[in-house]
Structure 1
Amino acid sequence: MADGDDLDFNPFFQALQTTFKQQYSIARHKCHLVCIPATDTLQGRTINQRFVETHILRTSPFFQGQYISTDKDGSKTIAVEEGNIVTLEGFQDEAEVRILSEELAYNEDYKPYKILVIERPLDGTVQASASRARSQSMLGDAQRITYQENHQYLFSFPECKKALVRLDRNITEFTNNYMIVTGYLDHAVQKLQGICQQATEDILKLCKRERQIDSIAQAVESYVVGSVHTKMWQAVCQQCQKEESLLQKKLEELRGVTGEQLGVKEAFCCPLPGAVVELATLDGLKTPLEKLSCLKRTLDSVNEEVNAHLRENQDPTSDDLPCLVSDDLILLLVPVLVQARCLHLPSNVFYIENLQWSLSSKDDLGFSLVTFKASLEYMMSADFSQLRATMSPTQKNNEISIPELMQAAQHMTLQPGPGEWEGRGAGAEAESPGKMTSFDRKLESITRMMERSSQELAAAPMPLKSITGETGDQQRAGGKRGEQVPDVIPLRKADKSGLGDFLSSLQDDFGCSYGKQT
């Protein structure tokens, strides 16, 4: 839930499931709108029949976007407009109540209905202390990732309306009038950076929130870049076209390749469907922060899936699991990039590095970018032609398809389907351990496809050329059943086990090339 408001501990939602169970059952059956005031605004409030009828509303038969209270007279009317609820009729005062989050639940007939968590009750105000605490929580240091979250955060400062109007005017002018000339993309980047800096200064002057300068600067950048995403993304892809053409050839050469063939330790070789599905969403994200977060989630997924594989195959007599370090991650990412069809990875890297200016390059997000750049550099520099020639037709063709991949990605990013909702719909019960949801079945299907693609290994190791200049003559042990595999990554030294020699050698090029230096 947004802002840490958990419905399971909300007194009004609890009352709907106990004292007012019949009213809530009718609301679910008829797919009414259910408004849940934030937990900390319900202290001292009496939750009675009138309160319930005010916050469970049916769709107006007359006006789109309006809802009517469920008391017998339908005495109250509200409208849902741009993230707010506006009280229109039947209330003591006309007011706007902000929507904090929205959930889509399903009734026993698998029909959807909306649950809105709102800033305060619709029929009155809360105590000033609670209201101030809520405001501070909303405008605090909670991390906002998506374009929409940063947009809502910026426009939560009513005193900054003038600055935000000016910002929108500058964005519109850039979108409609600014021409990006081929070869001069850096001028457009500087123009956007100037817009962001000016807007941040204007907002800070009006709202006097110097302690939140980093949060405001990040929100401004995400809002500005997200608003001009279509225009800038096309220009970035055009500038990176040459690199992406080469990458496309490399991805074709690597279709069906397995981690073992690239030199990944046998213990770490396993299907990585979650990472593939996560990375497949990268091109569709609007802001550098969203894209960086996607890269981090992909690496997290690789780690989780490899660790799960290690635990499943762990020696019962040993408590220690092998450690997955950066050099292993770089190689493991190659099949993930191939399966996810990351044709625009060079454009994404450029977009991230050049269109955000407030993030540090030395945190987890920065490390994620460095790791992907290292994997990209390896793919672009190494010669995989001979490896492709030795692969069987089954390996070359037995891959997950793009429609299947995107369908699975949608299941990860959109609301759950019928039967997958737990604890929100009528009669919803926890799924039994043996019962799988449609999303679980989708991931299992992807896993089976990837397992089939890794069943056949090349008969002999191929002498791949290392991007560090070493040749395939320098080989290390670690292949399947003791086979020798190419040393595509230099051997790690003991004193750099946490980072890896290969990644360390790229630090000067990749480590601090973007963002705010700390």
Structure 2
Amino acid sequence: MLWEVDQKVKEAADALHPSSNVDHMQNILQDTLIHCWELLLKRHSATMQIDAKFQDLLFRALDYYVVGRLHEMLWWLVCERCQVVDQLVKTRLSHLRHAHLSALQLGVPAHYYTPLPAAVVELASLASVESAIGRLQCVHSTIELIQAQAKEARVTLHQYKDQEGEPELELTKEELMALLTTVVVQAQCSHLVANIYYMTHYVFSVTEDDPLWKSLGLLRNTLENIMKLDVARLPQPAKSIRKELSLQDLMQVSAEVESRFEAKGPSRSIGDITALDLQLHQLTQQIQLSTQAHSETHLTERNSPSRRSDRTMLSPTQDNSKSHSFREFLSSIPSSLRESLRRRQSQQRSAIQSSLNG
């Protein structure tokens, strides 16, 4: 069966040309998907053929496989088209990273703030996924990790303080976008606009009401907000957050955290203990246990990375024409596949389902 599918994919590859427009390439890919879907569906029992969930699952699997086999060709074309705007976004993300942008500055409550390493790693792995639907799943997983880690921090803080009632777990849309903004800045993906273009045009098995598609919309909105951010006008955090520490710095932070918790004693109702404090406290305890277990191990201090020139901390010149170019390019990317393509896909699948049922 896969040999027959691969033959259809090869025919699709031969029909795709760098000069082809997006509509033409979408039609070729969709026809290939529909043909392979019908081919594989007919190899199963009559019960499976008419099972709607199985039909959708099979179509999703083919979306991964077929577009994945053509990924190198499609991705190269997308990057060529988006390279100028992607460079604008890359420069902006680099500036925000060196400015140490924090979710606290974007309105996330200080007592709920927590780092999001798993979400950063997930989004940073975007380039290693070789299909449009796979990358869309990666974006969705990133947002799910943000929500899970934020909820975990809130539950931990609630339990530590022995507060009554249930903690507020649901993030507001503003909080979620603020946290996603910091994750995007930390992940420093090189081709975010190209990825949005790629996922919008070359995902065929996701409808507009699917959570995956809503995640893509959230990423688009977040990127638009990032390009409009003026760091100079954001409130400055009361205490700067250091994201790179030498061994000596880490030992000092650990001592400070432990002294704070010892000073609190048995009281847990004091309001200045935050989710970040609890995370640092747990890390400190892990360091102490590790030090005890490896007391004979000689640790050598590693020099901190050299600081960049203070010039990199300055806001880049606000170029209205560049910002306009970004907004204009992003607005030209549809929020979904063309309606005519969706309609034709629905008609093709309905016709095949009718023939199977008959």
* Residues 94, 188 of structure 2: 8 Å contact kept: no
* Equivalent position SS for 2:215: helix
The alpha-carbon distance between structure 1 residues 169 and 399, as it changes in their structure 2 partners (threshold 3 A), is farther
Q: 1:348 deviation in Å?
A: 1.7
User: For residue 362 of structure 1, what is the amino acid of its counterpart?
Assistant: D
* Residues 254, 384 of structure 1: 8 Å contact kept: no
Q: Unaligned stretches of 5+ in structure 1?
A: 1-160, 401-432, 438-505
51, 62, 68: which one aligns with 1:226: 68
What fraction of aligned residue pairs are identical, expressed as a percent? 26
1:78-110 Cα offsets, whole Å, 9 max, x none, are xxxxxxxxxxxxxxxxxxxxxxxxxxxxxxxxx
User: For residue 210 of structure 1, what is the amino acid of its counterpart?
Assistant: I
Q: 1:243 deviation in Å?
A: 2.4
Tell me, yes or no, if structure 1 residue 363 matches structure 2 residue 197.
no
133, 141, 154: which one aligns with 1:289: 133
Tell me, yes or no, if structure 1 residue 197 matches structure 2 residue 19.
no
Distance 1:186 1:399 in 2: 47
| 1:278 alignment partner in structure 2 | 122
Q: 1:176 deviation in Å?
A: 5.5
* Residues 329, 371 of structure 1: 8 Å contact kept: no
Q: Which has the larger radius of gyration?
A: 1
| 2:316 alignment partner in structure 1 | none
* Residues 196, 220 of structure 1: 8 Å contact kept: yes
| 1:170 alignment partner in structure 2 | 8
Q: 1:320 deviation in Å?
A: 3.3
The alpha-carbon distance between structure 1 residues 194 and 271, as it changes in their structure 2 partners (threshold 3 A), is same
59, 62, 79: which one aligns with 1:237: 79
1:428-464 Cα offsets, whole Å, 9 max, x none, are xxxxx97999xxxxxxxxxxxxxxxxxxxxxxxxxxx
User: For residue 73 of structure 2, what is the amino acid of its counterpart?
Assistant: K
153, 157, 164: which one aligns with 1:318: 164
375, 384, 407: which one aligns with 2:230: 384
* Equivalent position SS for 1:240: helix
TM-score normalised over the length of structure 1: 0.43
1:195-243 Cα offsets, whole Å, 9 max, x none, are 1122222333444523232222222222110111111111111112232
* Residues 180, 188 of structure 1: 8 Å contact kept: no
| 2:110 alignment partner in structure 1 | 266
Number of residue pairs matched by the alignment: 250
Q: Between Structure 1 and Structure 2, which shows a larger proportion of strand residues?
A: 1
User: For residue 168 of structure 1, what is the amino acid of its counterpart?
Assistant: D
User: For residue 303 of structure 1, what is the amino acid of its counterpart?
Assistant: Q
244, 252, 266: which one aligns with 2:94: 252
1:166-216 Cα offsets, whole Å, 9 max, x none, are 4312322444663212x7233222221121122222333444523232222
Tell me, yes or no, if structure 1 residue 298 matches structure 2 residue 142.
yes
Q: 1:384 deviation in Å?
A: 2.5
* Residues 279, 295 of structure 1: 8 Å contact kept: yes
Q: 1:364 deviation in Å?
A: 2.4
* Equivalent position SS for 1:243: helix
* Equivalent position SS for 1:343: coil
Q: Between Structure 1 and Structure 2, which shows a larger proportion of helix residues?
A: 2
Distance 1:298 1:254 in 2: 20
| 1:184 alignment partner in structure 2 | 21
Q: 1:307 deviation in Å?
A: 1.9
* Residues 196, 217 of structure 1: 8 Å contact kept: yes
Measured on the aligned residues, the alpha-carbon RMSD in Å equals 3.6
* Residues 101, 182 of structure 2: 8 Å contact kept: yes
Distance 1:264 1:307 in 2: 13
The alpha-carbon distance between structure 1 residues 200 and 351, as it changes in their structure 2 partners (threshold 3 A), is same
* Equivalent position SS for 1:349: helix
TM-score normalised over the length of structure 2: 0.60
Distance 2:28 2:34 in 1: 10
150, 174, 178: which one aligns with 1:331: 178
The alpha-carbon distance between structure 1 residues 237 and 387, as it changes in their structure 2 partners (threshold 3 A), is farther
* Residues 8, 36 of structure 2: 8 Å contact kept: no
Distance 2:185 2:204 in 1: 30
1:321-345 Cα offsets, whole Å, 9 max, x none, are 2331222111111111111112212
Distance 1:325 1:512 in 2: 28
The alpha-carbon distance between structure 1 residues 398 and 205, as it changes in their structure 2 partners (threshold 3 A), is closer
* Residues 15, 28 of structure 2: 8 Å contact kept: no
The alpha-carbon distance between structure 1 residues 399 and 257, as it changes in their structure 2 partners (threshold 3 A), is farther
The alpha-carbon distance between structure 1 residues 399 and 254, as it changes in their structure 2 partners (threshold 3 A), is farther
